Structure 1
Amino acid sequence: MELFNKILIANRGEIAVRVARTAQEMGIKTVAVYSDLDRDALHVRVADEAYALGGSTAQESYLNTKKILEILDRSGADALHPGYGFFSENAAFARSITEAGVTFIGPPPEAIEIMGDKISSRAAAQRAGVEGVPGTQKAISDYEEIVTFGETHGWPVAIKAAYGGGGRGMRVVNSKEEAKDALESAMRESEKAFGRSECYLERYLTWPRHIEMQVFADSHGNGVWIGERDCSSQRRHQKLIEEAPAPNFPEETRVKMGEAAVKVALACGYQNAGTVEFLYQDGEFYFLEMNTRLQVEHPVTEMVTGLDLVEWQILIAAGNPLPLSQSQIERRGSAIEVRVNAEDPSGGRFLPSPGTIAKFIRPDGPYTRTDTGYESGDTVSQFYDNLVAKIVVWSDTRAKAIRRMVRALKETEIEGISTTIPAHLAILGNSEFQEVKHSTKWVETKAGLESLTLNPLPNALQGNEEVEKTQVVAEVNGKRVSVDLYLPKFESPTRNAPASTRTKQRQKNASTQGHRSAGAGGSGQVTVPMQGTVVKVLVEVGQEVEVGQTLLVLEAMKMENSILSERSGTVKEVRVSAGDTVGTGDTVIVIE
């Protein structure tokens, strides 16, 4: 069957680059779309054609259905690939594409409606004979429902976005006192990330592993499972490290889980790529949700199978049958992927770190792959997801794959922003991770990242605000060595300097020093450690506050972050309001 002539990729960043490359290898022209902030982005440079969406935020640009439909018509594209995130699991968007006479490279809108909605997907899985974690069968509308559920099933309880994934809009509620604020926060974050605010409840398991199964189905009634991935290394309910196959995972359970995943897919008339997610604990697995799209971590499955999953997506969307039957799919060795995010992992806080990448050197070597949407000189914006790159390695054993990943991460150089690479190295070097004793809660509770610091100063210089660490290379008796120097910091630009210059200096200072806390400054000058938008101010002038109290909520990179007080006292000034945009280092509240 003939393939498409031109594919519009309704996304940005590394996934847009990833899809474009496979399409071009298949002889298909590619069309990129871009916001005002992404005019010169890598995905724009890679595509054969590019069209402006306008706007800066996701709502103004990549979530603008009308504009995307206009560009589809102008470009003459006969297919659209949604990538992941944005519109990838939006049935109304998929339907608008097919109604325009363009092929949507993904499941039918009807399947997205069933499985893209996490509530109805639980019901569909149950009808297919696959049991899930105890939870609600409808969207919740009031925090009292959380209290009732928690008192019935036990605390903690998980609030989850009904139309999302990737941990966006998820909150863990440990008691009834937390219920109201947690629901409000989850609904706000879900609305901004997915355009829908509905949430549902689930029992929160104590020490589970997150295992997901890659499935494919075609329009001829065939379905297969490609293999599973272990995604248990998470923070803020978002994945940090993924691997295939799942380690210490019985083959009998693997087969049963794969068969269950195919049952779930076929029961809803599914087509194209999908991922059925499970929680695995004490030898049992429970259906969690189905992601009706390509996953961020699909490269580890490609590495162990030798298959191009984007190519499979395009072939199936064009009406072709599955390229392989279940018995023909083979898996070899072990693959690991780490997500290099623009976050400062100091103290295990993982604070967003948007900014311009001054230098980016990728790792190289055997069986080493880097998927990225950025190069040196590109800017990671506060308005979008903070994924900078995915580094993926393969080896014949898991132990060798871990060593290969450590080598690759040490080769990677990224300057200008903080990244999660130090956290990845700490996790990979931890014996509990190596011995597969971790779970979805391990990174935040037992991995020891609370002691992680970036650019630490010697003990004698701790607390000295006037010095910073600089690394230089020298020769000593003919031997090349790296030396750490502790030099006076550069003076900040004067108040008369352009705003852009002051912002760049703030970013540089934050990048060099590392963020001390979410609130910054026991001096009473409460500053923000990242660019973002104020969502909610929780205090007012004259109010008494305590150490650790949340002062305001800041949204950055599609995530909400609580800014905490580092001292007790009285609020003297509140310099921001909800909706204000702030920059790294800006003082937002003064406490005396």
Structure 2
Amino acid sequence: MITRLLVANRGEIARRVLATCRALGVETVAVHSDADADAPFVAEADRAVRLPGNAPGETYLRVGAILDAARRAGADAVHPGYGFLAENAEFAAAVTDAGLTWVGPPAKAIAAMGDKVAAKALLADAGVPMLPTWTDADEITDFPVLVKASAGGGGRGMRIVRDAADLAEAVASAGREAAGAFGDGTVFVERYVERGRHVEVQVFGDAHGTIVALGDRDCSIQRRHQKLVEEAPAPLPDGVRERLHEAAVAAARAVGYVGAGTVEFLLAPDGAFFFLEMNTRLQVEHPVTEAVTGLDLVRLQLLVAEGHPLPLTATPPVTGHAIEVRLCAEDPAQGHRPATGTLHRFAIPGVAGEFAPTRGLRLDSGVVDGSVVGVHYDSMLAKLVAWGETRAEAARLLAGALARAELHGVTTNRDLLVRVLRSPAFAAADVDTGFLDRHHEVLAPLLPPDGVPLAALAAALAQAAARRASAPVLAGLPSGWRNVPSSPQLTRYAGPHGEIEVRYRLDRSGALAESSVSAQVAVDGAPAESSLPPDVTLVAAAPDAVTLDVAGVRHAYRVHRVGSSVFVDGPDGAASLAELPRFPLPGAEPAAGSLLAPLPGTVARVHVAVGQRVAAGDLLLTLEAMKLEHPVLAPADGVVAELPVPAGGQVDTGAVLAVVDAGTDTGAAPAVVNTEEDPR
């Protein structure tokens, strides 16, 4: 029986495993990098062991260091979570060789499925349908194809290639990314199916020969080949579900599978399906299966690892529908560019439970208020899961909770997720892996352009209320009130698309005597200006809440201020503003044509030289951050004037990466970062 378990992972999956261990009375041990020293999962474990360093290669991927931590902390079992070493057969073997219980499939099963090329050959013999696959790029004549990492998963090391001229660079780039994420840069190529859906089957086996399918999931809505929205059960054509389950069980049985695993398939528009890969671990999206079956899959993992038989011998009944979204620190409008910073507030209303099967809303989060999102790990902050009697009810519940969430300090993909869940195409289950490529409308922020002035006015009025609340004398007088009305109060903010200027004046009763807002916004991607609608009156103002009446309709705003940053959450969406100083100090301006780092990272490679002429869209350099490569492209035709950071150099946000002289004063701008799989 397991008495003390070490979780060889971090973030929300570490918290997820710890939660089940607490429910079962199992003691826990966390391992952590220096960057994660203050993370929630470390505080929640009974014991914690430091892994010196920050990068995965020097911390969570070090087999010897993790085994040493288990020995020092007195652990008798290891759970790998997902990612990092979860699908590393050598790690699994090393754990069992050290006399510890491995909470996962046998090392031989991991090895069999870990080499995805060999796995395809093995499972093809077992009758599982396959796509054409190549290991020699010279043999490929038909496009499009998909380059994939042989080890690992999660979308790392994947590239779509539509032209033979781009294949070599895609293979090299995918290999580098896979090596950084999994320690193995081996890649292969398979045929790419247009309008395909990503469906998968949760399988579970025990050491007594039982292997069952626990249901299926649709994970088709993806960016960078990484899942964003998952649901169970998968909406499937008649007759497909049974055949999928049979193929998944056959795949697991072919390798003598034990424990939790997922067999992933690509479903073509004509109903045919093909094996993609088998993930020999718990999946990120396992909560949706738990929601519709009522099973705790981590508990089943522990029971099977202890040698107990599975408590079920057939696919369990499914109740209702569950949808999960991955809330990530990234900017969808900038090609899903990862974001960093301090998460000042992380609050989602209506959550019924965390880290366990729950009806209603479930939150599995790796962060809390004050968490720092850095560059060393991936961008996922949390998973939010909604269960409903029907698919439509689950989608509505999930979208509503996300829309009302307070997510302050770090840019997230929240608005994108809400728009996806509320889109007619999603409601009709018209989804596939190219959903985001076709539905660009979901990239628009929830807050419409005409809502920005109202949010800015609310921010200014809340700040005025805060000043009066802290005033040592005459606190009862409204901010800026004069016996003889003069100039209105003026507050300026930096908004997402430019400067916002708010002017207002309060009378002696505190009513809004006059107000105006001039805001730089974007309409259909083009710069524009927006102002207040007519008939705006102030109902109430407090330091953290403002209610405005707009033509007889009340609008309530929640306002949270951290230093000069102001976060406003209203009925139409959220705004993140930065109050500008009244008297800004002069500062050095970057040279015209400077490309500034959009996030901290490391310059992996420099592809051009000073003096070289480049065209708009040419690849200048590659920035590595948050376990991904980010190609930086020339914004215009010109000549490379400066390359101040060599390959291997580290940069902070705002650092000059390159200067391109276009012959005109273009000013400094964030680097053009292309996060598509083909960097050309």
Q: Deviations over 1:394-449 (max 9, x none)?
A: 00100111100111101221111111111101211221121122210121233434
Match of 2:103 in 1: 105
Partner of 1:279: 266
Contact map agreement 2:396 2:422 (CA 8 A) in 1: no
Q: Does 1:535 align with 2:521?
A: no
Q: 2: CA distance between counterparts of 1:184 and 1:454?
A: 40
CA distance in 2, matches of 1:442, 1:549: 27
- Which sections of structure 1, spanning at least 5 residues, go unmatched? 497-520
Alignment pair present for 1:489 and 2:580: yes
> Paired residue for 1:339?
326
Structure 1 counterpart SS, 2:432 = coil
What is the match of residue 166 of structure 1? 154
Report the Cα distance in structure 2 between the residues aligned to 1:527 and 1:75, rounded to whole angstroms.
Answer: 45
Higher-Rg structure is 2
Residues 96, 523 of structure 1: alpha-carbon distance in 2 compared, 3 angstrom cutoff: same
The Cα shift of 1:566 comes to: 1.4
Looking at structure 1, the residues matched to 266 and 281 of structure 2 have their Cα atoms a distance apart, in angstroms, of 19
Contact 1:430–1:447 (Cα < 8 Å) also in 2 = no
Counterpart residue number, 1:297: 285
Contact conserved, 1:363 with 1:370, CA < 8 A, in 2?
Answer: no
The residue that corresponds to 1:508 in the other structure is none
Distance in 2, Cα, partners of 1:294 & 1:360: 26
Which of 395, 401, 405 matches 1:402?
A: 395
For 1:181-580, list aligned pairs within 5 A. Answer: 181-247=169-235, 249-281=236-268, 282-326=270-314, 329-346=316-333, 349-365=335-351, 367-449=360-442, 451=444, 465-467=498-500, 473-476=545-548, 481-482=556-557, 489-490=580-581, 523-580=592-649
Query: For the residues of structure 2 that align with 1:485 and 1:312, how far apart are their CA atoms?
Result: 43
The structural deviation recorded for 1:565 is 1.6
Instruction: Between 250-259 and 267-276, report the one with greater CA deviation.
Output: 250-259
Going from structure 1 to structure 2, the CA distance change for 1:101 and 1:493 (only over 3 Å counts) comes to: farther
> Structure 2: how far apart are the matches of 1:242 and 1:258?
18
1:115 aligned partner: 113
Separation in 1 of the partners of 2:445 and 2:132? 36
d(CA) in 2 for partners of 1:309, 1:453: 35
SS of 1:575's partner is coil
- How far the C-alpha of 1:452 sits from its partner, in A, is 5.0
2: CA distance between counterparts of 1:332 and 1:361? 28
Give the whole-Å Cα distance in 2 for the aligned partners of 1:244 and 1:252: 17
How big is the shift at 1:6? 0.4
Percent of residue pairs identical: 44
2:132 is matched with 134
- 1:515 equivalent in structure 2: none
Aligned to 2:144: 156
Secondary structure at the counterpart of residue 84 of structure 1 = coil
CA spacing shift, 1:531–1:454, aligned 2, 3 Å = farther
- CA deviations 1:376-401 (Å, max 9, x no partner) are 11111211111100000000100111
Superposed displacement of residue 284, structure 1: 1.0
Superposition RMSD on alpha carbons, in Å?
A: 2.6
Change (3 A) 1:489 1:34: same
Mean Cα deviation higher: 443-452 or 473-482:
473-482
Superposed displacement of residue 473, structure 1? 4.1
Which string of whole-angstrom CA distances, capped at 9 and with x for unpartnered residues, describes residues 212-261 of structure 1?
000000000110000000000001100000000112x1352111111110
Partners of 1:271 and 1:295 lie apart in 2 by 15
How many angstroms apart in 2 are the aligned matches of 1:463 and 1:202? 41
Residues 356 and 379 of structure 1 are in contact (CA less than 8 Å); yes or no, is this contact kept in structure 2? yes
What's 1:175 paired with?
Answer: 163
Deviations 1:332-356 (CA, angstroms, capped at 9, x unpaired)? 1110000001101115x10010221
Q: Return the offset for 1:457.
A: 8.1
Pair 1:374–1:494, CA change in 2 (3 A): farther
Whether the 8 Å contact between 2:367 and 2:382 is mirrored in structure 1 is yes
- Aligned residues of 2:351 and 2:363 also touching (Cα < 8 A): no
Question: Quick one: which of 52, 55, 66 aligns to 1:68?
Answer: 66
TM (norm. structure 1) is 0.89
Q: Between 34-43 and 460-469, report the one with greater CA deviation.
A: 460-469
Counterparts of 1:480 and 1:453, CA distance in 2: 16
With over 3 angstroms needed to count, the CA separation of the structure-2 counterparts of 1:303 and 1:464, relative to structure 1, is closer
Aligned partners of 1:120, 1:398: CA distance in 2, in Å? 38
SS in structure 1 of the partner of residue 378 of structure 2? coil
With over 3 angstroms needed to count, the CA separation of the structure-2 counterparts of 1:276 and 1:493, relative to structure 1, is farther
Whichever residue aligns with residue 353 of structure 1, its letter is: A
Aligned to 2:77: 79
Amino acid at match of 1:382: V
In terms of mean alpha carbon deviation, does 88-97 or 249-258 score higher? 249-258
CA contact (8 A) 1:522 1:566 kept: no
Measured in 1, the distance between the counterparts of 2:412 and 2:202 equals 28
2:579 is aligned with 1:581? no
Letter in 1 for 2:422: G
- Report the more deviating stretch, 443-452 or 124-133: 443-452
Deviations 1:66-104 (A, max 9, x none): 111111111111110000000000001111110000011
Q: Structure 2 CA distance, aligned partners of 1:463 and 1:378?
A: 23
Hey, what's the Cα distance between the residues in 2 that align with 1:487 and 1:277? 45
Q: State the SS of the aligned residue for 1:38.
A: coil
- Counterpart of 1:268, as a letter, is V
**Cα distance in structure 2, aligned partners of 1:205 and 1:414:** 37
Counting strand residues as a fraction of each chain, which structure ranks higher?
A: 2
2:674: which partner in 1? none
- The alpha-carbon deviation at position 578 of structure 1 amounts to 1.4
Q: Larger relative CO (CA 8 A, sep 6+): 1 or 2?
A: 1
Matched-pair contact (CA < 8 Å) for 1:7–1:77 = yes
Whole-angstrom CA distance in 2 between matches of 1:91 and 1:493 = 58
Contact 2:495–2:577 (Cα < 8 Å) also in 1:
no
Deviation at 1:42, TM superposition (A): 0.6
Distance 1:120 1:522, change over 3 A: farther
SS in 2 for 1:246: coil
469-478 or 109-118, which moves further after superposition? 469-478
- SS where residue 266 of structure 2 aligns? strand
* 1:442–1:278 distance in 2 versus 1, CA, 3 Å: same
Is the 8 Å Cα contact of residues 345 and 452 (structure 1) preserved in structure 2?
no
Q: Any conservation in 1 of the 2:496–2:577 contact (CA below 8 Å)?
A: no
TM-score, structure 2 length as denominator?
Answer: 0.77
Identify the range of structure 1 (69-78 vs 360-369) with the bigger mean alpha-carbon deviation.
360-369
Query: Structure 2 stretches of 5 or more lacking a match?
Result: 353-359, 454-493, 502-518, 521-542, 558-569, 662-680
CA distance in 1, matches of 2:95, 2:195: 41
Counterparts of 1:318 and 1:463 in 2: how far apart (Å)? 53
**What is the match of residue 525 of structure 2?**
none
SS at match of 2:239: helix
8 Å CA contact retained: 1:344, 1:353: yes
Identify, as 1 or 2, the structure richer in helix.
1
Q: Distance in 2 between matches of 1:168 and 1:493?
A: 44
SS at the partner of 2:173? helix
